[in-house]
Amino acid sequence: MPETPISRIDDQAALIAQLQGEANALREELDETNQGVLALYAELDTQAEQLRQASDLKSRFLSYMSHEFRTPLGSILSIASLLTDELDGPLSPEQHKQVAFVSTSARELTDMVDDLLDLAKIEAGRIIIFPAWFDMFDLFAALRGMFRPIVDATAVDLIFEEPVGLPRLYSDDKKLAQILRNFISNSLKFTTRGKSGCRHRWKTAPTCASPSATPE
C-alpha cells in the first residue's frame, strides 16, 4: 500500500514524540546528576570546614599547652640557677652534678615545648628561619648530651659519626637540631636493642648537606 502524506506526518510526529521523550528522560537524568554533584560539593565543603576547625583547635591547644608548660619550666630553671650560684650556701660536687642534670633536663623540655610552638606556627604559616654559620660537630655534641640520659636507660647504643672534613654550614641550627631530635627520637623508639646512628653525608652541591638518623 503506497505511503500517503498523512502517514508520513504521523511517522514524523511519532519520531518527534519519541525524541522528546528521550530528551526529557536525559534532562531528568542530568538534573539528578547535577543534584548529586551539588550535594557532593556541599558535603566536601562541610568536611573541609570541619577539618579547618579541627586544625584551628589543635593549633590553639598546642599553643595553650606550650605556654602553660613554660611557666613551671621557667621556675625550675630559675631555682636551678640560684642553687648553682650557691646563694643559699655551698653545694657538694655531687649536688652540683644533680642540679646541672635538673637544669639540662628542664632546658631539653623547654626545647620540646618550643618544638610544639613551632609546629603550631608551621601549620599557621608563620614559621621564621634564622640562618647562621655553625659547626656540625657542636650540634652533634649537643644532641649526644641531650640523649645520653635516655640512651643510658635503654639497651640501644646511640652512635654519632664524627663530621670529619665537613665545612661549616649556613642554616638555622635550631631548626636542624629540632629535625634531628625528631629523627633520633623515632629511631630510639622503634629500636629495642642494638645501635642507632646519626651520620652526615656531604653531597656535590656546595650548599647541600644531608644529615640523617637511621636505626641499624
In the CATH scheme, what is the code of domain 5-124? 1.10.287
pLDDT given at position 184: 84
For CATH 1.10.287, list the domain ranges present in the chain. Answer: 5-124
What pLDDT, in 10s, does the model give residues 12-41?
A: 777 777 788 888 888 888 888 888 888 888
Pick the CATH number of 132-215 from 3.40.50.2300, 3.30.565.10, 3.30.505.10, 3.40.50.300: 3.30.565.10
For CATH 3.30.565.10, list the domain ranges present in the chain. Answer: 132-215
Whether residue 116 has pLDDT greater than 80? no
155-160 and 132-134 as β-strands: parallel, antiparallel, unpaired? unpaired
As a whole number, the mean pLDDT across the chain is 77
What pLDDT, in 10s, does the model give residues 148-188?
A: 777 777 778 888 887 777 788 898 888 888 888 888 888 87
In Å, how far are 28, 33, 51, 89, 109 from 41, measured between CA atoms? 20, 12, 15, 71, 44
| Average pLDDT score over residue span 87-91 | 81
The pTM score is 0.46
pLDDT given at position 2: 53
